[in-house]
Structure 1
Amino acid sequence: MESLDIALAMMAAVGMSGALARMLPAGIPLPLIQIALGFVIAGVFEEGVELDPDVFFLLFLPPLLFLDGWRIPKEGLWREKGGIIQLSFGLVLLTVLGLGFILHWLIPAMPLAVAFAVAAIVSPTDPVAVSAITRKVPVPKRLMSVLEGESLFNDATGLVAFRTAVAAVVTGTFSISHAALSFIWVAAAGLATGVVVTWGLSRARTAVVRRVGEEPGAEVLLSLMVPFAAYFAAEYIGASGILAAVSAGVTMSYVELSGSSSALTRMHRQSTWNVVQFALNGTMFVLLGEQLPGIYTGAVEAIAETGHHNPLWLVVYALVICIVLGVFRFGWVYASVRFEGWRKRRRGIPFPEVGAGMMMVLTLGGVRGAITLAGVLTLPLVLNDGTPFPARDLAILLAATVIITSLVLASALMPPVVKMLRHQSSGIKREQQEYLAVQTAREAAERALQEEVDRLTSEFPDAREQDLLSSVAERLLADIRAVSAVSELGLPDEWLAHEKRVEQRMRLAVIDAARQSIFALARQHKISDELAREMVARLDMEEVRNRH
């Protein structure tokens, strides 16, 4: 019963955190509020929550990574692919190797494989935390594209490296060549599995809908099952379930552009996933706060094994990790920008100037968050021989300290640095894309309205009905909600109801045509998928309003 009380208290804390974030000063990030609330819960329920690492990993990571892949703007992803790949793979490798050796040197009681595991799990960045910090001072679109794209892939690469290091600790064996080959296999097979599973489920869903119709509740439930299906399928064949969840999300975003789902389904699905994202992210940070007292006690004992009995050494270790991460990140960003500029200018391709301010934003944008927390909490409790996992509590506390420190530094330094930047844009500006989408949708709507009028004209040849059709069509074209002339003639109620049905039919045809034109622009990469989702969401709301 107490476990249920703790679970309800944690859910209440997640709900309260949103209200507190609006009440407290804007500079306090939401994750820090949730950690503090978790710490309060730990003081009320002294026993705390006993976490099963495998269950925790499965419940939290696949849906969060799936949603990242689904919602990340693909236009910026492809445009900034060079910088994203360098940050997602090169910087992760540098962090794992460099920080791993430094940690082992700094804390001899921490085995080298455990040090590599800690370095790997603090390498992924969290765009959700960055967005929360910069909601009052928006980061330039180009930089946000790099940060979001980096987080999508370094989540996967960092977690794969983390699990490889943990497996080395648990089994006691490690081979660089075997690890490299294993990484290539699990990465390639995981990515392919996510694509295949998502496309397969999408085709099966389309076949069922054609036969029996669409049920929004079942559609939402299916979307919630996709990341878990991709994860289990990949794990079954020995591939990376994490990368499968990422590629499943990316594939789902392209499946969505087919426009095969109804407006009501899309609205229900979006609202459900918003709640899932908020609940999972919030629960993880509340859990961190709730686990901190016990983690701190275990970490102090681990510190004593190194010969240091003063808990302040925990602060020293955490500061060293944060400084090393910052130096590595800034150095890698600087070298990558200079190399990319040299490479493109050598080929005659224009390359915009990247100043120190933009490099600082990219450096501060390396905020650690939900993925680091979810991953480090999955460290096994015991090894294969039954002995406790070495320095587990210390590893978790160090990762938690890195998360908190990066959040505090970014919340303090990011807004003033961003304000000093001149916002730069690349590619087609959003305003131009929106104008193109609106014009295309309007033209498609007018054509659809004329086609619907022609069809209705053949169905209702009576002269009075012809006048009704003309009146309704004119109102729709002008988008004026005035009473039509025919409704002022004292006609019976059934005729007015008939007029309403005709208008509804025309409106729905116009909305559907506009929506399909926007989907087509997104499939042709003339507008971003992010803008397409926003505009389709507005049309979906209009359709639902007209149907009810």
Structure 2
Amino acid sequence: MYWPTPFEKEMPGLEIVTLCLVLLLAVVVSGMISRLLPSALPRPLVQIGLGIAIGSIAHVRVTLDPELFFLLFVPPLLFLDGWRIPKDELFKDRGAVLGLALGLVFLTVLGMGWFIHWMIPAMPYAVAFALAAVVSPTDPIAVSAIAAKVPIPRRMMHILEGESLLNDASGLVCLRFAIAAALTGTFSLGEAALTFAWMALAGVAIGVGCTWGITAAKGWFARRFGDDSGSNILVSLLIPFAAYLAAEHVHASGVLAAAAAGLSMTFTTAWASVMAATRIRRRAVWDMLQFTLNGVIFVLLGEQMPEVFAAARDTVVSTGHDSPWWLGVYVAAIVGGLALLRFAWVWVSLRFTLFRTRRRDGTHVSPPRRIVAAMSVAGARGAITLAGVLTLPLAMNDGSPFPARDLAIFLASGVILASLVIASVALPLLLRGLDLPPEHGTEAERDRARRIGAQAAIAALEKEQHRMSENSEDADHYVEIAARLMDGYRDRIDSLSDDTKTKRQDEWEGTERIMRLAAIRAERKAIFDLAQTREINMDTASRLGRELDLLDARLSTAR
């Protein structure tokens, strides 16, 4: 009998670690290559190309467990999208966002599902609907990378962000129904409606409950026993997984739970007592995680392409065609169908919006064709589409291979590549030189927030000055320091010309630092109070809060 050596027993683990390191290195190299290229080639295309090179030249083969892949990549990405999306803009454009995220997704699933099955009869209806479901969500990160040279108008970007957040959830929920129908062979519309309602309502409730419960418990513990940055950051990383797993455990939508957890995270961080330095570090950790997860997904997509193409080429024979070029025809037809549906939906939605405006204000405005076209080509597919299609089961309930799985993965991959290329070419052309009406109110709103924050800071300085002056023989010095700060809310007092500072001078500097910290924290609280009462939007509060966090962190670490 052959007994493996200890080294051989450890090889699978070593191979997994090595593979993870190779993927991370590929993400770093892709960022360097995208910056070196003279053309505005978006980073996702560079990462896909690098993945193809790794799969073809290095012969790296990654066998992905769909459920594990979905758990590791989807919850944190949806959570972060929900956390960072401007909430007030999302609410203001809720009609357009819900129309794109729900109406267009359901229309895409139904229309493209029938079309794909008609075009490829060898693909069963359930698999065709599953493919239509995974290609329906859009990816704002890919669009942001494409539009780096030509900035997208703010309101348009807010609509795209809101659409991507919600259509990720609706598209993946439709995918779940399609997979269940493929495995069982049955589908009930009434049962599906009830199941959808349960999954949506319970998923949202669990996501919000997890965020508020975990944040409140962490805050209670921190107030009584102290806190540290590491545990705070780790808790924020675990919240999306907790929401996702809790929702899936009760057969609700883990996707919606992760998105709802991110949406509610903005409001919990407004009142949670977290140090400014912790907020800065947490933001940096999440930026790194977002860059890494998206990069790894696109590199994995490229790495899977050679094997998927080979398997899909064999599958296309079952459709009655011999040439592998038919795969390109299928991808082009699907991309064309998606573009037509999106263009028609955006055009009708915009016409309806302008019609309501005309009835309300009596003004007649023609639909801006370039905006309609830009919104249509901005629907690039990306990480969520790949994550969704890779969750197709490997086998049916009876153990037989899942029908047309490789073909579905290839077609979804082709749609991602084609949509990225189309958006990278067409979107800058459509947006370049586009004159849009100015967005009023942002600067005035920011100035008002700064003014109210400064008033709160002065009030806090007065309170801190009185507290320090009580029963102190140096009250005049406290008044002097507070007066200097309140006069113009200026920077620290200039360093004394004498290099050798006395102990007393150090004490005055420490006093000024304490007063300035009190003022900054009061200013931040006043700004977020305005956001909570909806006097300013949360995006403005977050921007100003980040500036104050930097000042707070600098003064907190000063000694």
Same fold, TM-score > 0.5, yes or no: yes
Q: Residue 524 of structure 1 corresponds to which residue in structure 2?
A: 533
Any conservation in 2 of the 1:118–1:395 contact (CA below 8 Å)? Answer: yes
Q: 1:527 deviation in Å? A: 2.4
Q: Does 1:359 align with 2:368?
A: no
Tell me the distance in 1 between the aligned counterparts of 2:346 and 2:205.
30
Mapping of residues 208-227 of structure 1, within 5 Å: 208-227=221-240
Q: Does 1:447 align with 2:456?
A: no
Report SS of the residue matched to 2:470. Answer: helix
**Gaps spanning 5+ residues in structure 1: where?**
none
Change (3 A) 1:483 1:62: closer
Tell me the distance in 1 between the aligned counterparts of 2:318 and 2:540.
55
Aligned length: 543
For residues 5-37 of structure 1, the C-alpha deviation after alignment (integer angstroms, 9 at most, x for no partner) is 322111101111222221113521110011111
Residue 484 (structure 2) aligned to one of 457, 464, 474: 474
Any conservation in 2 of the 1:142–1:424 contact (CA below 8 Å)? Answer: no
Tell me the distance in 2 between the aligned counterparts of 1:350 and 1:443.
42
Q: Does 1:510 align with 2:519?
A: yes
Q: Residue 437 of structure 1 corresponds to which residue in structure 2?
A: 449
Residue 275 (structure 2) aligned to one of 250, 258, 262: 262
Change (3 A) 1:211 1:142: same
Q: 1:473 deviation in Å? A: 3.7
Q: Residue 140 of structure 2 corresponds to which residue in structure 1?
A: 127
Tell me the distance in 2 between the aligned counterparts of 1:498 and 1:55.
56
Q: 1:489 deviation in Å? A: 9.3
Change (3 A) 1:75 1:480: closer
Tell me the distance in 2 between the aligned counterparts of 1:505 and 1:350.
56
Q: Residue 9 of structure 1 corresponds to which residue in structure 2?
A: 22
Deviates more, 1:327-336 or 1:13-22: 13-22
Q: Residue 547 of structure 1 corresponds to which residue in structure 2?
A: 556
- Percent of pairs with identical residues: 46
Q: Report the AA paired with residue 499 of structure 1.
A: W
Q: Does 1:144 align with 2:157?
A: yes
Change (3 A) 1:382 1:480: closer
Change (3 A) 1:280 1:257: same
Q: Does 1:497 align with 2:506?
A: yes
Tell me the distance in 1 between the aligned counterparts of 2:377 and 2:400.
39
Q: Residue 314 of structure 1 corresponds to which residue in structure 2?
A: 327
Tell me the distance in 2 between the aligned counterparts of 1:212 and 1:231.
29
Change (3 A) 1:476 1:348: closer
Residue 238 (structure 1) aligned to one of 230, 238, 251: 251
Tell me the distance in 2 between the aligned counterparts of 1:93 and 1:522.
34
Mapping of residues 354-503 of structure 1, within 5 Å: 354-425=367-438, 428-462=440-474, 466-467=476-477, 469-471=479-481, 473-474=483-484, 477-478=487-488, 479-483=490-494, 493-503=502-512
Tell me the distance in 1 between the aligned counterparts of 2:253 and 2:381.
22
Q: Does 1:297 align with 2:307?
A: no
Tell me the distance in 1 between the aligned counterparts of 2:17 and 2:501.
60
Any conservation in 2 of the 1:141–1:424 contact (CA below 8 Å)? Answer: no
Any conservation in 1 of the 2:140–2:164 contact (CA below 8 Å)? Answer: yes
Q: 1:449 deviation in Å? A: 1.6
Q: Report the AA paired with residue 484 of structure 2.
A: E
Deviates more, 1:132-141 or 1:111-120: 132-141
Change (3 A) 1:373 1:349: farther
Q: Report the AA paired with residue 86 of structure 2.
A: P
Tell me the distance in 2 between the aligned counterparts of 1:527 and 1:26.
39
Q: 1:295 deviation in Å? A: 0.4
For residues 148-205 of structure 1, the C-alpha deviation after alignment (integer angstroms, 9 at most, x for no partner) is 1111111100000011101111222212222222112111111111111111112211
Q: Report the AA paired with residue 135 of structure 1.
A: A
Q: Report the AA paired with residue 501 of structure 1.
A: G
Any conservation in 1 of the 2:468–2:478 contact (CA below 8 Å)? Answer: no
Report SS of the residue matched to 1:422. Answer: coil
Q: TM-score, normalised by structure 1?
A: 0.95
Q: Does 1:87 align with 2:100?
A: yes
Any conservation in 2 of the 1:259–1:516 contact (CA below 8 Å)? Answer: no
Q: TM-score, normalised by structure 2?
A: 0.93
Any conservation in 1 of the 2:40–2:149 contact (CA below 8 Å)? Answer: no
For residues 447-484 of structure 1, the C-alpha deviation after alignment (integer angstroms, 9 at most, x for no partner) is 2222222222225233xx52364046415644254447
**Over aligned residues, Cα RMSD in angstroms?**
1.9
Report SS of the residue matched to 2:392. Answer: coil
Q: Report the AA paired with residue 203 of structure 2.
A: G
Any conservation in 1 of the 2:485–2:516 contact (CA below 8 Å)? Answer: no
Q: Residue 538 of structure 1 corresponds to which residue in structure 2?
A: 547
Q: Does 1:156 align with 2:178?
A: no
Q: Report the AA paired with residue 308 of structure 2.
A: I
Change (3 A) 1:15 1:350: farther
Change (3 A) 1:15 1:5: same
Tell me the distance in 2 between the aligned counterparts of 1:96 and 1:278.
29
For residues 472-504 of structure 1, the C-alpha deviation after alignment (integer angstroms, 9 at most, x for no partner) is 6415644254447xx679997210121121011
Any conservation in 1 of the 2:60–2:303 contact (CA below 8 Å)? Answer: no
Residue 55 (structure 2) aligned to one of 6, 22, 42: 42
For residues 267-290 of structure 1, the C-alpha deviation after alignment (integer angstroms, 9 at most, x for no partner) is 111111111111100000000011
Tell me the distance in 1 between the aligned counterparts of 2:153 and 2:239.
33
Q: Residue 131 of structure 2 corresponds to which residue in structure 1?
A: 118
**Gaps spanning 5+ residues in structure 2: where?**
1-13
Change (3 A) 1:401 1:263: same
Any conservation in 2 of the 1:27–1:412 contact (CA below 8 Å)? Answer: no
Change (3 A) 1:350 1:541: farther
Change (3 A) 1:90 1:349: farther
Report SS of the residue matched to 1:257. Answer: helix
Q: Report the AA paired with residue 539 of structure 1.
A: L
Q: Report the AA paired with residue 214 of structure 1.
A: D
Tell me the distance in 1 between the aligned counterparts of 2:441 and 2:304.
46
